[in-house]
Amino acid sequence: MVRVEMRTFTRVEGSGSADIIIENGKVKEVRVRFLEGPRFFELLTLGRNYYDVPDLEARICAICYLSHSIASTVAIERAFEVEVTEEIELLRELGLLGEMIESHSLHLYLLVSPDIFGQPDAINLAKKHWNLVKDGITIMNFGNYIRDLIGGREIHGINIKPGGFGRYPSEKELRFIEKNSAEYIKMSTKILELFVSQEPFGARSNAKIVTNNYLLGDKLMADDGALFDYHECIEEKSLPYSFAKQSRYKGKIFMVGALSRLLLKNKYLTPTAAEFFDRYKDLLLEGYASRNNLAQAIELIYALEKSGEIARKLLDKGVRANNVLVKPVEGEGIGYVEAPRGVLVHHYRIEEDGKIKYSNIITPTAMNHAFMELSLYEEARNNFGRMDDEKVTRKLEETIRALDPCISCSVHMIKM
């Protein structure tokens, strides 16, 4: 038996590695190890007042903090049976779109594009393809502007509150979003063409899970037609070699993220994004892990186009500070959000005095953990012994990067 170690993953968020177990010349097992220390966010919320919890959950991640804040807030509102206004829902959706713009452009332009051009990183890529890198940074900054506006600041914002917001955007700020979103759509189509010709690799997704609306939902939905709450069909287990739990859907490995969203919810796409989806539908339907890059490129166009639509709608309605009264009662609520990397779940039980007595969080990367192992297994099985070890390792790293893991999000409280 031989153990081949993939040292710390590069150009992904967080610290992780993998072991490839080879026995009698054949790949027997792959173990993806998330090495960030457990951060116990479920435990940290226990006994705290509900009002402080979304701000605390925003600390889980610097890249997708808004998704955590909104999922947490929605779960609390559902526990208290609070219904917010359409304006508040639109502003939350706008914030999630901004986060998607920032996250997808970071991934596509700075983390994955170097692989396409055979460069080790974005700095070396910029030496030969500066305009491409500049486009990525420009679009990232626009996404950060939206996230800063809705979340209160670019990182770990505190503007998302049960019942509404601490601050509402001005007409001038919304007009800025409306104008610039249209300008960046054409710019973003250039990156899409890079991933059309990318060869397929990784495993093929046999099961996919999404929320039942594009970015915010009250249930989860699977490609077998099931509509369910997460605890009804998703089983979590701890692993002896990783600080993240691993999930199964009815015992099956599944995938979440941009590819799953496009394949199951393409009816929600904006006109330009829908046009590109129809053009490259056959490639996406292949279901390979690598097609997640192409899916993100199409979804980036969707997020830019949709953010402009929402800004126009809010301008037509007129934006005003109008929070909904929130009164604590004993209750239980689940918040489902599509973070950039896929389905995010926040689940609370709250006491009558507003204190949290139960908390559970499942992140997209934890849900994709088993699919990452399966994808590495397929690539290792197909390539070990057929190309030199350095090339195999590069291919395995590209496979991990295609799934865009956010490892820091995935390591929470576990039972050993």
Q: Which residues are annotated as a binding site?
A: 42, 61, 64, 361, 406, 409, 412
221-to-120, 214, 264 alpha-carbon distances in Å? 38, 11, 9
Q: Which residues are annotated as a binding site for Fe cation?
A: 64, 409
SS3 at position 197: coil
Contact 321, 86 (CB under 8 A): no
Hunting for tokens 């007409």 — which residue is that? 171
Rg, the chain, Cα only: 21
Q: Please give the structure tokens belonging to residue 353.
A: 């005095």
Q: Which residues are annotated as a binding site for Mg(2+)?
A: 42, 361, 412
Spatial CA neighbour of 279 closest among 288, 266, 264, 290? 266
* φ, ψ dihedrals at 329, nearest 5°: -140, 165
For residues 33-46, give the mean pLDDT: 84
Hunting for tokens 């204190």 — which residue is that? 355
* pLDDT in the model for residue 2: 75
Contact 147, 99 (CB under 8 A): yes
Name the strand (E) or helix (H) holding 314. Answer: helix 291-317
Quick check: 57 pLDDT over 90?
Answer: yes
Quick check: 35 pLDDT over 90?
Answer: no
* pLDDT in the model for residue 14: 86
Helix, strand, coil abundance in the chain, percent, nearest 5: 50, 20, 30
Give the CA angle between residues 304, 291, 15 to the nearest 5°. 85
Query: Which residues are bridge partners to 6 per DSSP?
Result: 18
For residues 363-383, give the mean pLDDT: 94
Quick check: 127 pLDDT over 90?
Answer: yes
Contact 401, 112 (CB under 8 A): yes
Q: Please give the structure tokens belonging to residue 201.
A: 């690799």
Domain positions in the chain are 2-410
Q: Which residues are annotated as a binding site for Ni(2+)?
A: 61, 64, 406
Q: Please give the structure tokens belonging to residue 385.
A: 């012994």
CATH number of the domain at 2-410, please?
Answer: 1.10.645.10
Q: Which of 19-33, 211-225, 313-327, 401-415 has the lowest mean pLDDT?
A: 401-415
pTM: 0.96
Contact 336, 218 (CB under 8 A): yes
15 pLDDT tier (thresholds 50, 70, 90): confident
Cα–Cα dist 342/131, whole Å = 29
Contact 32, 46 (CB under 8 A): no
**219-245 residue pLDDT tens:** 999 999 999 999 999 999 888 888 888
Quick check: 105 pLDDT over 90?
Answer: yes
- A 10 A CB-CB count for 264 gives 17
Quick check: 413 pLDDT over 80?
Answer: no
Spatial CA neighbour of 296 closest among 379, 194, 203, 373? 194
Q: How far is C-alpha 50 from the geometric centre of its chain's CA atoms?
A: 24
Give the CA angle between residues 401, 342, 5 to the nearest 5°. 30
Spatial CA neighbour of 322 closest among 168, 156, 155? 168
In 106-209, which ranges are continuous DSSP H helix?
113-116, 122-128, 130-151, 171-196
Quick check: 319 pLDDT over 80?
Answer: yes
* pLDDT in the model for residue 98: 98
